[in-house]
């Protein structure tokens, strides 16, 4: 049954409803991710960050140095970015949810003792950076939640230097019909119950919202086209695990 906050988040992707939902599930977010993806979510971020760095090296530029991870949540992608980029790189991790950033802060005390990742509370639609300030920008499982994804992509293009890298990791739907049918079973039967019991917020089941938002968000070439229109090109779209997750990589024109 949908609660008030789910209905609001689904209908209008109201930033306040989205922020409340993630604030509610923040303390259990990492555990839920690990259980629901059987630990695979870490490998997706690591593969994505490594691919971005490899593309930059192939272009003869070495690893990017000034990174931003948007909708960074509990800082897992920021950590993967830092590991892939190696010494000399720094990452800013932004999110608009203070509870998610609190979990990130605790984690970084242990995982980033040198303090190479900075946390900042910011909306993806209004990033606190001057134009062209960054070499690389990543976002994992966040763009689907932003009220206006096209505007967010435009904001990403604004803060990246020309030639800067934009990497987007997001859920999608498998391409093969058989894989899509299997995923549908998991999605409709298993995930809402499991996800609901692990990550039920005070105001409802965030995973019902998750299921609906994945089904309505563009993936594959459709999303790559969003990126091209926003100022990136060429853009590659790579399916992970039959297309359950997609990795998009583009360069700011």
Ligand X SMILES: C[S@@+](CC[C@H](N)C(=O)[O-])C[C@H]1O[C@@H](n2cnc3c(N)ncnc32)[C@H](O)[C@@H]1O
In angstroms, the CA 108 to CA 230 distance is: 32
Neighbours of 88 (CB within 10 A): 10
Which residue among 67, 77, 183, 209 contacts ligand X (CB under 6 A)?
A: 77
Residue 137 Cβ, how far from ligand X at the closest point, in Å?
A: 12
Footprint of ligand X on residues 135-164 (CB under 6 A)?
A: 140-142, 145-146
Footprint of ligand X on residues 87-126 (CB under 6 A)?
A: 95-97, 100, 123-125
Q: Which residue number, 71 or 160, has a Cβ lying nearer to ligand X?
A: 71
Nearest-CA neighbor of 245 among 43, 10, 7, 19? 43
Q: Does 207 bind ligand X (CB under 6 A)?
A: no
Residue 151 Cβ, how far from ligand X at the closest point, in Å?
A: 10
- Residue 149 near residue 222, CB atoms below 8 Å: no
In angstroms, the CA 192 to CA 173 distance is: 17
Residue 94 Cβ, how far from ligand X at the closest point, in Å?
A: 7
Q: Which residue number, 19 or 237, has a Cβ lying nearer to ligand X?
A: 19
Q: Which residue number, 95 or 135, has a Cβ lying nearer to ligand X?
A: 95
Residue 204 Cβ, how far from ligand X at the closest point, in Å?
A: 16
Within its chain, how far is the Cα of 72 from the centroid? 7
Q: Which of these ranges, 17-25, 50-58, 105-113, 128-136, lies near ligand X under the rule CB under 6 A?
A: 17-25
Nearest-CA neighbor of 37 among 141, 107, 142, 167? 141
Label residue 252 exposed, middle or buried (CB < 10 Å: 0-12, 13-18, 19+).
Answer: buried
Q: Does 208 bind ligand X (CB under 6 A)?
A: no
How, if at all, do strands 160-171 and 134-140 pair?
parallel
Q: Does 22 bind ligand X (CB under 6 A)?
A: yes
- Residue 152 near residue 15, CB atoms below 8 Å: no
- Residue 26 near residue 97, CB atoms below 8 Å: yes
Q: Which residue number, 160 or 214, has a Cβ lying nearer to ligand X?
A: 214
In angstroms, the CA 17 to CA 6 distance is: 8
Structure token pair of residue 225: 């086209």
Which residue among 64, 73, 167, 195 contacts ligand X (CB under 6 A)?
A: 73
Q: Does 76 bind ligand X (CB under 6 A)?
A: yes
Residues touching ligand X, count (CB under 6 A): 21
Give the residues lining the site for ligand X (CB under 6 A): 15, 18-19, 22, 71-73, 76-77, 95-97, 100, 123-125, 140-142, 145-146
């Amino acid at each position: 049954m949908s609660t008030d906050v789910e209905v609001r988040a689904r209908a209008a992707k109201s930033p306040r409803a989205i922020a409340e939902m993630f604030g509610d599930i923040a303390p259990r977010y990492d555990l839920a991710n690990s259980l629901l993806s059987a630990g695979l979510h870490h490998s997706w971020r690591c593969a994505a960050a490594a691919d971005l760095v490899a593309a930059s090296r192939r272009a003869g530029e070495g690893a990017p140095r000034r990174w931003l991870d948007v909708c960074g949540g509990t800082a897992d992608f920021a950590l993967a970015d830092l590991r892939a980029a190696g010494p000399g790189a720094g990452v800013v991790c932004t999110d608009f949810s203070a509870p998610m950033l609190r979990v990130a802060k605790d984690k970084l005390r242990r995982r980033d003792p040198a303090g190479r990742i900075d946390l900042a509370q910011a909306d993806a639609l209004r990033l606190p950076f001057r134009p062209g300030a960054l070499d690389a920008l990543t976002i994992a499982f966040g763009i689907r939640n932003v009220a206006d994804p096209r505007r967010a992509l435009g904001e990403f293009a604004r803060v990246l230097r020309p030639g800067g890298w934009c990497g987007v990791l997001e859920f999608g739907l498998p391409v093969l019909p058989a894989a899509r049918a299997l995923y549908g079973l998991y999605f409709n039967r298993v995930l809402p119950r499991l996800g609901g019991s692990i990550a039920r917020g005070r105001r409802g089941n965030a995973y019902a919202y998750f299921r609906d938002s994945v089904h309505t968000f563009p993936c594959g070439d459709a999303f790559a086209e969003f990126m091209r229109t926003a100022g990136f090109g060429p853009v590659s779209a790579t399916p992970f695990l039959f297309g359950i997750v997609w990795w998009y990589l583009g360069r700011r024109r």
